[in-house]
Amino acid sequence: MDILEKAKDNMLLKETMLSEYACKSEDAILLQEDKDDIRPIFFRDIDRIIHSLGYTRYIDKTQVFSFTKNDHITHRVLHVQLVSKIARTIGRSLKLNEDLIEAIALGHDIGHSPFGHKGEKYLNDICIKENIGYFCHNAQSVRVLKILERLNISMQTLDGILAHNGEILINKYKYNKNKTEEDFIKDLDATFTEENYSKKIIPKTLEASVVRLSDIIAYIGRDIEDSIKIGIIKREDVPHDITNVLGDNNSKIVDTLIKDIIINSFEKPYLTFSDEVFNALMKLKDWNFKNIYASDEANKYQDKIKNLFYDLYYCYLEKVQKFNTDKNNLSESEKNLYDFIKQKDDNTNIKRVVIDYIAGQTDQYFLNECIENIKGINIEELYK
């Protein structure tokens, strides 16, 4: 056995100690053949995700607050790192595959639009209006990695990303180990054609379920800390029947939720909270929606941003027609759009390609594109 073969064996050594419910590298399903590599497949998925173009754009995408001037509030890039760390803590404690967990966690929001969930809603509304199906960020994340960037990521990683929906809180996170490649493709296609289909998806692995609940754990207390920093709420505003169970700051909340999951899920083929902690978490989630996500600060300038999504979409569609007759004298903005359009699959509706282009933009790039392309627009107030 040569040194590289030994190195490959060493990288797989820890998998011999995994739980019977863990997904091992030998079980990985690749949607296309790949060359031999010393890295286990899920480990390699991580590398491909962090080197993707989509991953670099996390840096300037909204988590909750879009136009708040504070360098210490959470952006999308930090959120996915927090999800990864929390999920790996749970996964290691339950002897699950940390490589698969990290790959899913780091890739789960790559398809998020500019301006967070509100931007996601605007793109979904446009899709419905244009009769091209639906838009949801978890399916778009898979589309970015699998179709737009053509990365050979394992089915288990893509399936975990597709199933992650962190806006849904349940108290028993199950998985379906018998899920096939065909089942995954069916789920992926259905998220674009059936309304709210992503809420029905059950992942293939328990690792994916870990990421799904870790998404909630990562944002639920962190959003409180961000809101306190910018003066939306005070720490003592959070109801005592919640803080008495979960704690009154992010560190305590994360610690309580992680330990509760581990205690109640240890050596079980599913994940669950205790009733007391789950009920408190449900109350906190509802409280956050009413006091943080519905706040004026979290919704600042959204009427204007909504109109910009529509205006930019239709502006791009008009420019695409121009490309068919005149490819000369394009502006820098038009060249970028043209280059993106050229890469599309011939079978993809051009309207969906324009949605892809907008969805991939960072907040600032989106605003710059609006200034460049929409006549008579004035968005100076957004920079105040």
Q: Which of 319, 303, 325 is nearest to 375 (CA)?
A: 319
Residues 275 and 318 in one domain: no
The residue whose two tokens read 């778009």 is 140
| Residue 52 near residue 145, CB atoms below 8 Å | yes
Mean pLDDT of the chain: 91
Q: Can you state the angle between helices 332-342 and 363-373, rounded to 10 degrees?
A: 110
d(CA 106, CA 102): 6
Domain coverage including residue 187: 40-114+134-293
pLDDT of amino acid 376: 72
Boundary (domain end) residue, out of 293, 316, 341: 293
End-to-end CA distance of the chain: 64
Residues 227 and 328 in one domain: no
Average pLDDT over residues 293-320: 93
Residues 284 and 344 in one domain: no
pLDDT of amino acid 381: 64
Per-residue pLDDT band at 208 (split at 50, 70, 90):
very high
Residues 78 and 49 in one domain: yes
pLDDT of amino acid 166: 56
| Residue 305 near residue 116, CB atoms below 8 Å | no
Q: Give a yes or no: residue 123 inside a domain.
A: no
Q: Which of 108, 63, 102, 62 is nearest to 86 (CA)?
A: 102
Q: Check pLDDT > 80 for residue 379.
A: no
Per-residue pLDDT band at 206 (split at 50, 70, 90):
very high
Which pLDDT tens digit goes with each residue over 227-261? 999 999 999 999 999 999 999 999 999 999 999 99
What's the CATH number where 95 sits? 1.10.3210.10
pTM as predicted: 0.94
Which pLDDT tens digit goes with each residue over 139-188? 999 999 999 999 999 999 999 999 987 567 788 999 999 999 999 999 99
- Tell me how many domains the chain contains: 2
Helix (H, G, I), strand (E, B) or coil at 154: strand
Q: Which of 152, 175, 151 is nearest to 101 (CA)?
A: 175
